[in-house]
Amino acid sequence: MNVIIFGPPGAGKGTQAKFFVKNYNNFQVSTGDMLRDEIQKNSEIGKKIINNMNDGKFVDDEIVNKLIKNVIFDSTKKNKLVFDGYPRSLTQAKNLEVLLNESNQKIDFIFFLNVNKETIVKRIEKRKILEKRSDDDLDTILKRYDTYMETTKPVLDFYSKNKNFYEIDGDLKINEITTKIEAFINV
Ligand code: AMP
């Protein structure tokens, strides 16, 4: 089963992705983690993206698409992908469709965690203390939210027409969201 968890920063995508890792043997595909890893390694990609990441701006589609391609064509992960933070633009969504087609895969479920801005600010401030991420200060958080709204809205329109698209109130508690996801899967 391949799944997309979709929603603004701080919506709880990573947390719900881990539910799939634990219960369905999925591999978490977090482009945010992959990009932070490149910065950590001080790789060529890392050097190119550090400013955008710290400013709360998106990394170029071309770079993210290249990282994603390796994962999709990894046969050990075939049909076990849970996407968290990808796709975030229409170009990425279309790229994902092409890559999945080429590798004989499809998306089985798209879960949209819809959360309001106030909840996100509260959650990310909490996460900042727990995870010490350099892009988690309030200004950057708000910038990331606005970037998300601008760039990701077309992706929402693109997916919301699919019959495997499910919108969930992301203001609910973690376990309540998980229960809803399970219910949709088990229909
Ligand atoms: P995240 O951990 O998903 O909140 O992502 C943290 C940051 O990584 C974002 O603010 C972007 O700068 C960058 N990023 C993560 N995923 C993507 C993506 N799919 N496209 C572009 N930039 C991304």
Radius of gyration (Cα) for the chain, nearest Å? 16
The atom number, within ligand 1, closest to the CA of 58 reads: 22
Contact 57, 143 (CB under 8 A): yes
**Protein residues with CB under 6 Å of any ligand 1 atom:** 9, 31-32, 35, 52-53, 56-59, 64, 85-86, 88, 92, 135, 144
Q: Which residue has the tokens 């910038």?
A: 143
- Specify the pLDDT at position 153: 83
Please compute, for residue 136, the number of CA atoms within 13 A of its CA located in the half-sphere on the CB side: 16
> What are the tens digits of pLDDT across the range 153-177?
899 999 999 999 999 999 999 999 9
* Distance of CA 34 from the midpoint of ligand 1 (Å): 9
- Specify the pLDDT at position 20: 97
Superfamily of domain 3-185: P-loop containing nucleotide triphosphate hydrolases (3.40.50.300)
- CA dihedral 59→64→67→72, nearest 10 degrees, is 150
97, amino acid identity:
E
In tens digits, what is the pLDDT along the chain, a chain of 187 residues?
999 999 988 889 999 999 999 999 999 999 999 999 999 999 999 999 999 998 888 999 999 999 999 999 999 999 999 999 999 999 999 999 999 999 999 999 999 999 988 888 888 788 777 877 777 778 888 888 888 888 888 999 999 999 999 999 999 999 999 999 999 999 8
